[in-house]
Amino acid sequence: MLNFDEPRYVRIQAGAVDLAASLEAVIAKVLADGGRNLFFLGAGGAGILMQPAAQLLATRSEFGVYVHQAAEIVRTGSMHLGPQSIVVIPSLSGNTPESAAALAFCKQAGATVLTLTGKPDSPLAQQADFNFSNDAADDTSSESFYLQSLIIALAIMKARGEFADYQPVLAELRQLPELLVEVKRSAEDRAAHIAGLIAADSYHIFTGAGPVWPQAYYYAMCILEEMQWIRTRPVHAADFFHGTLELLEEGVSLVLLKGEDATRPLANRVEAFAPQYTRKLTVLDSADYDLPGISAEVRGLISPVILAAVLERVSAHLEVRRDHPLTTRRYYKRVEY
C-alpha cells in the first residue's frame, strides 16, 4: 500500500482500544459520584469525530448528552453544565487554544474533565482531571478518536445497566486493528481511482447520514479543504433534499458515504436520486468491506471507523496525484487569527 506503515497503524488503533479498561473505570467512578450528564466539547475535526458517540447515547440511553463547540460554550455557557457533568475534550495536539479555554471554563463550573490527546505531556493532558493519551497522528487519529469516544459511550451505558453486551462488543473491537488493515488493502485500488476523481474537480458535495455523516463532514472540511485546498459542500443526507439538491447537475461531483445503521435509507434516497442528474456520483459503503468475526450490531457502530480507514487510502493517493502534501498549509497554525 502507498505510503502506509502497517505496524504503526495497528499499534495506534490497538492503543485506542486498550484504553477501554481505564476509560470504563473512570466512567464508573464519576457516575457513582453523581455524574448525570456528558458534554463532548471539541474544536475542528476532533470535535466532529465525537458526534457518532453522542448520537449513540442520545438514541439509546437516558443519560443526558450534549455536543458543543469548545469556543462557543465559553461564550454562552450552559445551564446543564456543572459539578455533576462529565466533559470530554479531544485534541490530538493537546494544545488547541479553544479546547484549553473550554477546559478552564468547565473546571471552573465544577465539571469533571476527561481529555483525549496524542501526548500525555501536553497542556490539555496535564490540566485535565483524567487524561487518556494515544500516540496517533493526522493519518490515524480519526479511527483512534472514534473508538475512544465509542468506548466512553458504551461504558456509560454499561454502568447504567443499559447495555448488557459491553464485554462481547469490546472483544470484537479488539479484533479491529488487524481487520482494518485488510480493509485498507482491499480498498487500495478503488481508493486510487477515487483520488483521481477528486483530483479532477475543484468542487465536491459530500453527504451521509447517521454515524457516517460526521465522517463525510470531517473529510470534506478537514482533509479536502484544509489539507488539499479543494472546495466542498458537506450536507447531511436528509438536508440534501432541502436545498443542496438544486446544485446537482451534469458535471457536479457528489460523494455519498453509506453506513450500516438504521439511517441507511436516508443515504439510499440520495443514491436513487442523484444518477438522474449527474454521472459523477461516488458511493463509499462500509458494507462493501469484509470484517470476519464482527457482528452486524458492531458493524453499525463502527461504520465511520471503516470509512475513515478507506478514506485515508484516498488521501494517500490524492496528495501524490496532486503533488500537494497533506501537511501543507497556508494559514492554519501559520498566521495569527
64-69 vs 112-117, strand pairing mode: unpaired
324 burial via Cβ count (<10 Å: 0-12, 13-18, 19+):
middle
Per-residue pLDDT reduced to its tens digit, 158-203:
999 999 999 999 999 999 999 999 999 999 999 999 999 999 999 9
Buried b (16+ CB within 10 A) or exposed e, 122-134: bbbbebbbbbbbb
Residue 96 lies in a domain: yes
Per-residue pLDDT reduced to its tens digit, 33-47:
999 999 999 999 999
Residue 337 lies in a domain: no
Kindly state whether residues 199 and 168 are assigned to the same domain.
no
Can you give the residue range of the structural domain that contains 193?
178-321
- Can you give the pLDDT at residue 301? 98
Domain tally for the chain? 2
| Last-in-domain residue among 173, 202, 227 | 173
Kindly state whether residues 59 and 127 are assigned to the same domain.
yes
- Nearest Cα neighbor of 205 from 217, 187, 222 is 217
Per-residue pLDDT reduced to its tens digit, 94-127:
999 999 999 999 999 999 999 999 999 999 999 9
Per-residue pLDDT reduced to its tens digit, 5-38:
999 999 999 999 999 999 999 999 999 999 999 9
Residue 51 lies in a domain: yes
- Can you give the pLDDT at residue 239? 98
Kindly state whether residues 182 and 297 are assigned to the same domain.
yes
- CATH code, 45: 3.40.50.10490
